Amino acid sequence: MNFNHRFLFIGLVLFTSCVAVSEKDKAPTAAPAATAIMPADSTKSFDNALVDNKKDPSCGMPVTAGVSDTLHFKNKVLGFCSSECKDSFVKDADKIFATIEFKK
Ligand SMILES: [Zn+2]
């Protein structure tokens, strides 16, 4: 092995180890972003005293009849009778939010 070959070999080793390190650095950023603030479990009931709206904005049912899903929106806690009602609110959130009656 003459000088030029040895230099090339060392360069190749360094290059390969750099690639290995940068692949490892990328791994933690691949974590999925959390979107759900409250559990979307329709079998769990929330205390209607904790929500800020009087009625489910999607179907008009009073929250006192039961809240099974909630959503944080514009610093308010909104209660919904079901995940379906929450989903229909989310589709047109800004427009429906303007019609909501709040407790305070
Ligand atoms: Zn509803």
CA of 65 to the centre of ligand 1 (A): 10
pLDDT at 39: 53
CA of 41 to the centre of ligand 1 (A): 15
Ion ligand 1 residue ranges (Cβ < 5 Å): 56, 59, 61, 81, 85
CA of 28 to the centre of ligand 1 (A): 39
Distance CA(58)–CA(44), nearest Å, equals 19
Nearest-5° Cα angle at 76, 74 to 78: 115
What is the value of pTM for the model shown? 0.58
CA of 61 to the centre of ligand 1 (A): 6
Walking along the chain (104 residues) 10 residues at a time, the average pLDDT comes out as 69 66 55 50 75 97 96 97 97 97 91
State the amino acid at position 12 in one-letter form.
L
Q: Please provide the distance, in angstroms rounded to a whole number, between the alpha carbons at the two ends of the chain.
A: 84
Number of CB atoms found within 10 A of residue 100's CB: 17
pLDDT at 41: 52
CA of 29 to the centre of ligand 1 (A): 38
Find the Cα–Cα–Cα–Cα dihedral 68, 69, 72, 74, rounded to 10°.
-80
- What residue has token string 């909104």? 78
Q: How many helices (H) and strands (E) does the chain have?
A: 3, 2
CA of 56 to the centre of ligand 1 (A): 5
Number of CB atoms found within 10 A of residue 42's CB: 14
